[in-house]
Amino acid sequence: MRSAACSCYRTSVKSSAHNSEAVRSEGAAAQWDPARDIEVDSSSPVPLYHQVASQIENAIDAGGLPVGAKLDNEVDLAARLGLSRPTVRQAIGALVDKGLVVRKRGAGTQVAFGRVTRSLQLSSLFDDLSDMDAAPETRVVVNETTEVPSEIASVLGAGRQDQVLHLERVRYSRGEPIARMENYLPRDLLRPADADLERYGLYQLLRSAGVRMHVAQQNIGARLADVQDAELLDEPEGAPLLTMKRTTHDQTGAVVEFGSHVYRASRYSFDLTLRGDG
């Protein structure tokens, strides 16, 4: 599955050069003003709180509200938007539930994290985060040569007693865990040190070893976080996770890696472009 679009954000948000009293970012005045940029339609069947929440979420996704930006308190924001305080409280609560903003005692409501939106193409998460200037970091959990698991042997075209490279890593963006990634590769294809895996993406290392990724089969699904997911990804047990399984082939058709990854649904989404006939 491939995407013809490579945009990282779903919506653009208008900005202004003058300082805003509505949103303040640490060290600099923010440029996104909810009183000016949020449009509320009382005749719409969409609930008012959802209209407010979705537009603030779009501003976060588009970078108009950076991490650390602060919103006005509920009373002031409600007055500026001409809405009731319960409506604004419900809007902010919806954003809190998604993990996009946090309420801090004495500090008000603050943007916690911008969701990573990834186009579907044959690239690694490390490459995509680097392209977005999202400061990718990696924690290596497993880096070992092991006997191929029975369910992986047929995928890699390996015998039951063959040895494979088994990797497990946690990928971070701007200090937040984003994904737990598990990969199996033919043993002689690559033998990376932990320092290499921390510094580079897996596809970068494969390309450096002369491997050319040509095509991949990919499946996207969902499941609930188990105990280990919760510990590694800083999510509560039972939280929704996106899943992605990918089998990648080189130009000869040989399998060069099988990956089974899980992503925090509160921090991550896939972006697809679909084309109709003609």
Detail the DSSP E strand segments found in the chain.
23-25, 28-29, 70-71, 101-104, 108-111, 116-119, 136-147, 163-173, 176-186, 213-224, 240-250, 255-264, 268-271
Quick one: fold of 23-111?
Answer: Arc Repressor Mutant, subunit A (1.10.10)
Instruction: Tell me the pLDDT tens digit for each residue of 204-256.
Output: 899 899 998 888 888 889 999 999 999 999 889 999 998 989 898 887 888 89
pLDDT at 57: 84
pLDDT confidence of residue 182: 96
Domain borders along the chain are 23-111, 116-271
- Average the pLDDT over 56-74 and give the result: 80
For residues 41 and 54, give the distance between their C-alpha atoms in angstroms, rounded to a whole number: 13
11 or 3, which is more confident: 3
Q: What is the pLDDT of residues 24-40, one digit of tens each?
A: 434 333 467 776 788 88
Query: DSSP letters of 167-215?
Result: EEEEEEETTEEEEEEEEEEEGGG----HHHHHHS-HHHHHHHTT--EEE
Give the integer Cα–Cα distance in Å for 26 and 50: 27
Homologous superfamily (CATH) of 116-271 is: Chorismate lyase-like (3.40.1410.10)
Q: What is the pTM of this model?
A: 0.56
